[in-house]
Structure 1
């Protein structure tokens, strides 16, 4: 199949007409990476499974646990929350400040 500039533009036009914004459409880097994958013989379009911790630890269950910890002890620290949930400090910060809207004042968590 010959891929001309017009064909490439037609694919971009299709994405545009489908309502995708520039940020939602694939970047140049993504296109180059996928070309390299296909040249290596990859035929599957779905992601390969990976091991390890999920991408995000900011789940509703973790938010509820942190809320309960704060309600039980307003002096609870980041380290105590981390020991309880076994998640990173940045995720704890997101849960506390963005999800629960609390801040530390005089070593106590209060609503912001």
Structure 2
């Protein structure tokens, strides 16, 4: 009876065989397998060897890989070694493990998912990494909000609104699939700070509550979100939309949480809130 890793290998070998029959180049086949299998994709050299073997007519998908590597195995020694390597680098790929361990990618995948209970997921985008003081400040604010609204009607949560400005890129700077990591069910994925790269982008001011997005306002190209822009463009549109979504209460009792930036702290902005 074929093992799980043997079945896994048969699938991608069969894919290579069919694409080879269609005269697809090895580099294109490797690219397609990367998109399908992600970190479980065989190495480029392995794909090229199988393509060459299929073209010569001397290989079958059930054959051992013509690489001269050791036979695959999910023994306890390999399990312990792979676990230690993953603990050192959660973003290590199956290809990297395959090169270090000299066992099949299918066996490595079986050890990671079945024996060790890992799953490969993408990293989580975050605006930036927070310092310890910033995390503590957020915790204190959250506790105050919980105390204020602990026994209140859930409808009162609509009184809370938050927002700020953010860059919206026309394209993702780089794929977060490159930051995939192995995690167990009780673990969180790696966090990826957004890169400050010089790509086409536009500044947006966005405000939202627990029920809806209240404001999405783009800033004119080449202009910054200054106190003047905030008071003349953001606030009027924000108040207008609040009154639209809450015609009875309007802005009464509304609590707006904003960042401590220069445009928000300016005298012009503070006087406009009064």
TM-score (norm 1): 0.50
Q: Which structure has the greater CA radius of gyration?
A: 2
TM-score (norm 2): 0.21
More strand by share: 2
* Larger RCO, structure (CA 8 Å, separation 6 or more): 1
